[in-house]
Structure 1
């Protein structure tokens, strides 16, 4: 889930629509409500944050260093002031990157992925048997050949790969794909997405790579 902090409703709605087209859940906050949420949210909710985008808001309530105390997710400032002084001020405040608007959503996703790789020395993909699963929106590969997937199924596969070796519940998958604040979609939609995903993987691999157990959840098993 991507979090954007901005006082303008039109900006939050715009990013919600654009990230939604890429299959990435996003939620928006004003500055003061975000500061309160970061300080009081449950660890499980904080862990669902993939990145924080900071737009126009009161810096008194939005401190990159305070965010860092709760999560290692990338913190990116969206700057509308194209000046060296402003850029340096934002870096000094503790952000990981400063991006000048306007910026394409795919560029933001690429920057988020790059920051994560630098943080973890991650090559940018997870190799599990013949499966190569990327974390930057690219389709996975099976034995080097691309496997085109709809965005929700691709995101589910990325989440399962990120938790390889662990079982994840339906609620955890739902939160990762739709966000923790989406109450317009039923959680059971996860079962439909996974059913379609495992069928496509089975056709390519010759076996079912997703192990599921009632009440316990799902695990990628290659």
Structure 2
């Protein structure tokens, strides 16, 4: 779960591997290579982490307990189609590799492998996605800035341009007060939207309705603005 902290820009990597010896060796090597690594020993933990944290890249073992790696990948692709994913597997048959790519893998490495090859493949995947805006994940929400799309627990939210911009701003600034001036600045490129009432209050009300059951709430801070935070358990 730890990672090296000497690297100036740590890439966040999810390692889903149930073999403790291999996982430990990879955690050390990845840390030295400059990755901030979160380790998932099974598919259920991998899904939990992928849903709640933004990652730059993921390494998934196919033979994970509880939820297998292929299922983790297929579900991930519904909410985060762009995250680079490398599959690890002891299965090297052609149909296994094809199944991995069809599920949405970007690369496939068979065990046993040499660390330099894995490192080179990870670098190649990161080069392929150098400036891709990363999806923002928080509770059941996933915000995809590239497609200006938000999903809640895997379901796409029906948002207007202004609603998307407001939600994105509130999630980016979560636990901080966002002022009406900040919201107006965010909306400056959106243009007008038709419909009754285009006040900030109206859009906040709409978002609150659409986020019911998300485990988050938008609080009005009188005289200052709005604050998005997690609901108390």
Q: Normalising by structure 1, what TM-score? A: 0.45
More helix by share: 1
Query: Which structure has the larger Rg?
Result: 2
Which structure is higher in RCO with an 8 Å CA cutoff and minimum separation 6?
A: 1
